[in-house]
Structure 1
Amino acid sequence: MSAFSEALGVTASGLKAQATRLRIVSENIANVDTPGYRRKMIPFELQRGANEVAQVEPGRVRLDQSELERVFDPSHPLADENGNYDGSNVNLILEIADAREAQRSYEANLKMFQQTREMASGLMELLRR
């Protein structure tokens, strides 16, 4: 396998991982006000192929086990006898920061993918002469 294809494979795995991360973050943002919702988190893992080139793979989605926010609203249908119910443990500011980081990482991988393609095309042009 050529160095160009290996580089394309690595950047493609990074694009896939960041796209998965953005999907998880968007689910968290969409459920920020859902009672009982636990924040989802996704780790990244390095996988080494037969040619020893590491690629990024998203791991299994885990649920944040931190305390759920207690919300006081006696009129809510899920409220207990004291007027409290469990909200979500999603921190909107943290999710927005994660989304921005994932977006920038995605863009960096995309730029690397494009540059690798341009280099391969340039090499092909040189070889044709």
Structure 2
Amino acid sequence: MSLFNIFNVSGSGMAAQSVRLNTTASNIANADSVSSSIDETYRARHPIFEAEMAKASHQQQSSQSVAVKGIVESDAPLQKQFSPNHPMADNDGFIYKPNVNVMEEMADMISASRSYQMNVQVSEAAKSMLQQTLRIGK
């Protein structure tokens, strides 16, 4: 694998982790939202990643970049709470809260942040190696 491919792989990793950070931030921002129906309630979202294996196998390279295949909503049940005095309560006195687990989201945010940071460090190391290689010719 050439050093230039490292930039493609780490760049795609940074883009993927950026999507992961944004969906996690969206989940945390909507964790305390309330609605009066199940259909309107926010559901936690999570990105799905895939390695671009087809590109790697056709080009006979060992490097694989990361791609975001899609963003899916969580199937976890929503929180139904009896609160007849709430202005958003339905006819039966219930309000609906998202299925966002803030503790899981914070752990996911830390993991995504560290993964992003590691991809930045890989890019910096490759850049340093390329600079050292250019200095050999002087």
Q: TM-score, normalised by structure 2?
A: 0.86
Report the number of matched residues: 127
* Unaligned stretches of 5+ residues in structure 1: none
> The residue matched to 1:67 in structure 2 has which SS?
coil
- Aligned-residue offset at 1:64: 0.5
Aligned to 2:26: 27
Partner residue of 2:133?
123
1:43 aligns with 2:45: no
Equivalent position to 2:93, from 59, 83, 90: 83
- Which deviates more, 72-81 or 100-109? 72-81
The alpha carbon displacement at 1:34 in A equals 1.6
Gaps of 5+ in 2: 35-40
Shift in Å, 1:41: 0.8
Alpha-carbon deviation of 1:71? 1.7
Partner residue, 2:82: 72
Q: State the AA in 1 paired with 2:28.
A: I
| Per-residue deviation, residues 2-57 of structure 1 (Å, max 9, x unmatched) | 70110111000100100110000000000001231100011110013353331111
Whether 2:108 is the aligned partner of 1:109: answer no
% same residue: 29
Instruction: Determine the structure 1 residue equivalent to 2:67.
Output: 57
Aligned-CA RMSD value: 1.4
